[in-house]
């Protein structure tokens, strides 16, 4: 059979495994693609469901055959814009199987080939799968965003919430690496192949599926695939009333755990949670997970969930997260927010003493009140409760960096990146740990990863400036500095720096930067302190560090591990900052 098959407005490339419509790629996963390949090869002839099963699933694979095949056929029809009721391409033939009825452009010699080719594909696929091992070792997994097939797009929160909860459930399996929310959400509506996605996330297996909510009914379809081979391992559908959604979610998570030879960790009985409160909680998390978080609606949903179910620990934890983090997003907040967050987190732990989210919130609050011993204890409890809770690893790494424990900080940062490999936060956390741990070249590599993932993030250019300067690569450092200024809207200053650098050197570049009236007025005091430290201006360095501390700027916790400030370390004002932050003098 030819490598490229054309029918109607479609083109099927069997070598690259791509489907295109009028030259535009159409997202189609490997299973539906195989079905299309088989049916097109047998144009006009019926391919039975049994033959398709032999091609799609190896002998001994556990799968609910009817549902799995129906799901794959439905996906194929969606990709082709076809329907079972009025088929243009894929016709259902009684209960026997399916037939491709589209008009193909075949070479004259190929009229007798299709049926033979289809048989060869089926036989070849069957032989291949019979040689494939029937058991697969899975140590890491990613749950791709469940597709919202509900007619109402406002139900997007429900699909995303179901995805997030399934991630949370599977993360409780000991020894299983589960990719976190932020990284998988980058693949929402992605056209990348499953094998490509698995490669980018570095996982053995993928879970994908869909959610349909119609009135009081919910239907979830899920399948487990080997990300290394794109081999289908298991599939199932789950139907129920919206009031049973918690039991349905639990059943799905347990079934996936069973397929990989594990079981879920201990959890409170889901039957005790009010289903309406749970839906409100999902809506709250949906709003909080946005960047930036949509705090107002998120808090309103969490508060209503607590009213509907005063014993719902996750709702208290979600509301605590809002109070604890909104100040960091320059959102309207109150001086009592930290106290409120602490009270809510403690309430959550009274209800569920194994809630990682609540321990993490408490640990963060302790970190900012300089109670480092209690903070570390709570971070350890959070990680013990859920080793895959990404935020606990990130924030614990930042605490360890602050305390001058670089090896431990790097370890936690690497765990964070393993859980959330495409996350800005996780990669940035590891870069901080590497930089202040003296591993400059590795920090540069991590910042460059961030630049590839988030090319519009100007801050990374400035970070790279300091790192390149630290190892004497001044030309590269100044190029990054100039790029950062251009991205930040200082094109004229960047052009002047490019022009002046050959004659004034890096010190001259820093002076040009500090002389700009806008930067002089508005730049973060931590950044100015670093610039004046570069120039060995003792007075201005310390003055800006004092102001950075009074403003509670995000980088000031690293004052004690930044070697650029060693030349002012003996200044009483510097030592006063160290004492106020309860850090140990070096």
Structural domain includes residue 542: yes
Residues 6+ apart with CB under 8 A from 582: 370, 372
341-354: average pLDDT: 96
**What is d(CA 531, CA 490) in angstroms, rounded to the nearest whole number?**
17
* Residues spanned by the domain of 569: 524-586
**Pairing between strand 46-48 and 97-100?**
antiparallel
**Above 70 in pLDDT, residue 397?**
yes
**Mean pLDDT, the chain, as a whole number?**
86
150-154, 183-187, 509-513, 550-554: which has the minimum mean pLDDT? 150-154
Considering the domain architecture, whether residues 186 and 254 belong to the same structural domain is answered as: yes
- Please check whether residue 373 is in contact with residue 342, taking contact to mean a CB–CB distance below 8 angstroms: no
Cβ burial of 498 (10 Å; 0-12, 13-18, 19+) is middle
Nearest alpha carbon to residue 567 among 530, 523, 512: 530
Q: Please report the pLDDT score of residue 146 as a whole number.
A: 92
Considering the domain architecture, whether residues 112 and 208 belong to the same structural domain is answered as: no
Structural domain includes residue 211: yes
Last residue of a domain, one of 131, 160, 181: 131
6-10, 152-156, 178-182, 512-516: which has the minimum mean pLDDT? 152-156
- Please check whether residue 287 is in contact with residue 294, taking contact to mean a CB–CB distance below 8 angstroms: yes
Bin 216: left if φ > 0, else alpha if -120 < ψ < 50, else beta.
Answer: alpha
Considering the domain architecture, whether residues 96 and 163 belong to the same structural domain is answered as: no
Structural domain includes residue 464: no
Q: Please report the pLDDT score of residue 266 as a whole number.
A: 59
Q: Please report the pLDDT score of residue 58 as a whole number.
A: 55
pLDDT tens, residue by residue, 117-164: 444 444 444 444 433 333 458 889 999 999 888 767 777 888 888 898
**What is d(CA 152, CA 5) in angstroms, rounded to the nearest whole number?**
36
Structural domain includes residue 220: yes
Q: Please report the pLDDT score of residue 439 as a whole number.
A: 96
Nearest alpha carbon to residue 57 among 229, 234, 221, 261: 234
Residue 573 tokens, joined: 């004002």
Bin 187: left if φ > 0, else alpha if -120 < ψ < 50, else beta.
Answer: alpha
Structural domain includes residue 44: yes
Q: How many domains does the chain have?
A: 3
Q: Please report the pLDDT score of residue 268 as a whole number.
A: 52
Considering the domain architecture, whether residues 34 and 151 belong to the same structural domain is answered as: no
Question: Can you name the residues that pair with 177 across neighbouring β-strands?
Answer: 140
Question: Which element (helix H / strand E) includes 11?
Answer: strand 10-13
Q: Please report the pLDDT score of residue 354 as a whole number.
A: 92
- Please check whether residue 205 is in contact with residue 260, taking contact to mean a CB–CB distance below 8 angstroms: yes
**Pairing between strand 140-143 and 205-214?**
parallel
User: What CATH number is given to the structural domain containing 99?
Assistant: 1.10.10.10
Considering the domain architecture, whether residues 18 and 43 belong to the same structural domain is answered as: yes
Higher per-residue pLDDT: 9 or 115: 9
**What is d(CA 448, CA 423) in angstroms, rounded to the nearest whole number?**
13
Considering the domain architecture, whether residues 8 and 119 belong to the same structural domain is answered as: yes
Question: Can you name the residues that pair with 46 across neighbouring β-strands?
Answer: 99
Find which of 22-26, 64-68, 255-259, 368-372 is predicted with most confidence, using mean pLDDT.
368-372
Percent of the chain scored above 90 by pLDDT?
Answer: 51
Nearest alpha carbon to residue 27 among 144, 169, 159, 178: 144
Write a three-state SS string for 310-372. CCCHHHHHHHHHHHHHHHHHCCCCCCCHHHHHHHHHHHHHHHCCCCHHHHHHHHHHHHHCCCH
**What is d(CA 48, CA 37) in angstroms, rounded to the nearest whole number?**
14
Measured over all CA atoms, what is the biggest interatomic distance in the chain, rounded to whole angstroms? 91
Structural domain includes residue 101: yes
Write a three-state SS string for 506-538. HHHHHHHHHHCHHHHHHCCHHHHHHHHHHCCCH
Structural domain includes residue 354: no
57-76: average pLDDT: 65
What is the C-alpha R_g of the chain? 28
Omega before residue 292 within 30° of 0, cis: yes
The dihedral through the CA atoms of 15, 17, 19, 25 has a sign that is negative
Considering the domain architecture, whether residues 120 and 146 belong to the same structural domain is answered as: no
Q: Please report the pLDDT score of residue 2 as a whole number.
A: 58
User: What CATH number is given to the structural domain containing 173?
Assistant: 3.40.50.10610
Phi, psi (deg, nearest 5) at residue 301: -65, -45
Last residue of a domain, one of 237, 265, 293: 265
Considering the domain architecture, whether residues 34 and 109 belong to the same structural domain is answered as: yes
What are the distances in angstroms from CA 223 to CA 82, 129, 543?
A: 23, 18, 59
Q: Please report the pLDDT score of residue 570 as a whole number.
A: 96
Last residue of a domain, one of 83, 108, 131: 131
* Cα-to-chain-centroid distance, residue 171: 14
**What is d(CA 548, CA 366) in angstroms, rounded to the nearest whole number?**
20
pLDDT tens, residue by residue, 520-564: 888 899 999 999 999 999 999 999 999 999 998 989 999 999 999
Task: Provide the 3-class DSSP secondary structure of residue 25.
Answer: strand
Considering the domain architecture, whether residues 180 and 112 belong to the same structural domain is answered as: no
Considering the domain architecture, whether residues 184 and 100 belong to the same structural domain is answered as: no
pTM: 0.74
pLDDT tens, residue by residue, 434-460: 999 999 999 999 999 999 999 989 999
Q: Confidence band (pLDDT; 50, 70, 90) for 509?
A: very high
Q: Confidence band (pLDDT; 50, 70, 90) for 304?
A: very high
Considering the domain architecture, whether residues 144 and 259 belong to the same structural domain is answered as: yes
Considering the domain architecture, whether residues 10 and 48 belong to the same structural domain is answered as: yes
Structural domain includes residue 448: no
**What is d(CA 519, CA 527) in angstroms, rounded to the nearest whole number?**
10
The DSSP output letter for 153 is G
- Please check whether residue 349 is in contact with residue 359, taking contact to mean a CB–CB distance below 8 angstroms: yes
């Amino acid at each position: 059979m030819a490598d490229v098959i054309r029918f109607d407005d479609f083109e099927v490339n069997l070598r690259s495994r791509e489907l295109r419509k009028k030259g535009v790629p159409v997202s189609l996963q490997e299973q539906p693609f195989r079905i299309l390949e088989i049916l097109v090869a047998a144009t006009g002839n019926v391919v039975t469901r049994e033959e398709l099963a032999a091609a799609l699933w190896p002998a001994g694979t556990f799968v609910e055959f009817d549902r799995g095949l129906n799901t794959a056929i439905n996906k194929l029809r969606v990709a082709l814009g076809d329907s079972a009721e009025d088929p243009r391409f894929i016709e259902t033939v009684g209960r026997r199987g399916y037939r491709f009825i589209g008009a193909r452009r075949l070479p004259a010699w190929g009229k007798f080939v299709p049926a033979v080719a289809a048989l060869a594909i089926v036989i070849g696929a069957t032989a291949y799968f019979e040689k494939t091992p029937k058991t697969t070792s899975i140590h890491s997994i990613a749950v791709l965003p469940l597709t919202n097939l509900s007619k109402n797009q406002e139900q997007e929160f429900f699909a995303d919430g179901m995805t997030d909860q399934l991630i949370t459930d599977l993360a409780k399996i000991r020894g299983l690496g589960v990719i976190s929310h932020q990284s998988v959400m980058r693949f929402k509506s992605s056209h990348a192949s499953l094998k490509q996605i698995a490669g980018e996330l570095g996982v053995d297996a993928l879970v994908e599926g869909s959610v349909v909510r119609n009135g009081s009914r919910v239907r979830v379809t899920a399948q487990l695939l080997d990300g290394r081979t794109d081999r289908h391992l298991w599939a199932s559908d789950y139907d129920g009333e919206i009031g049973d959604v918690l039991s349905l979610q639990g059943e799905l998570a347990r079934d996936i755990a069973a397929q990989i030879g594990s079981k879920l960790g201990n959890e409170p009985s889901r039957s005790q949670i009010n289903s309406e409160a749970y839906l409100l909680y999902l809506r709250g998390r949906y709003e909080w997970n946005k960047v930036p978080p949509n705090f107002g609606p998120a808090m309103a949903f969490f508060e209503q969930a607590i009213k509907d179910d005063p014993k719902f620990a996750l709702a208290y934890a979600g509301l605590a997260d809002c109070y604890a983090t909104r100040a960091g997003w320059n959102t309207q907040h109150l001086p009592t927010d930290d106290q409120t967050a602490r009270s809510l987190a403690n309430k959550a732990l009274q209800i569920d003493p194994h809630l990682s989210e609540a321990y993490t919130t408490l640990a963060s609050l302790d970190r900012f009140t300089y109670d480092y011993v209690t903070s570390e204890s709570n971070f350890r409890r959070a990680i013990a409760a859920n080793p895959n809770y990404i935020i606990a690893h990130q924030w614990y790494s930042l605490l360890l960096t602050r305390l001058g424990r670089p090896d431990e900080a790097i370890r936690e940062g690497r765990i964070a990146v393993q859980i959330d490999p495409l996350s800005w936060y996780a990669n940035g956390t590891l870069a901080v740990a590497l930089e202040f741990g003296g591993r400059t070249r590795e920090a540069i590599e991590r910042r460059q990863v961030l630049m590839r993932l988030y090319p519009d993030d100007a801050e990374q250019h400035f970070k790279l400036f300091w790192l390149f300067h630290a190892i004497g690569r001044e030309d590269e450092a100044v190029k990054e500095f100039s790029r950062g200024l251009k991205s930040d809207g200082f094109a004229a200053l960047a052009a002047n720096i490019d022009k002046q650098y050959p004659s004034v050197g890096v010190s001259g570049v820093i002076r040009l930067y500090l002389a700009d009236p806008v930067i002089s007025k508005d730049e973060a005091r931590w950044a100015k302190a670093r610039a004046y430290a570069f120039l060995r201006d003792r007075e201005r360095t310390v003055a800006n560090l004092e102001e950075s501390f009074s403003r509670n700027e995000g980088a000031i916790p690293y004052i004690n591990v930044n070697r650029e400030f060693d030349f002012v370390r003996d200044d009483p004002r510097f030592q006063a900052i160290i004492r106020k932050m309860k850090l140990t003098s070096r």
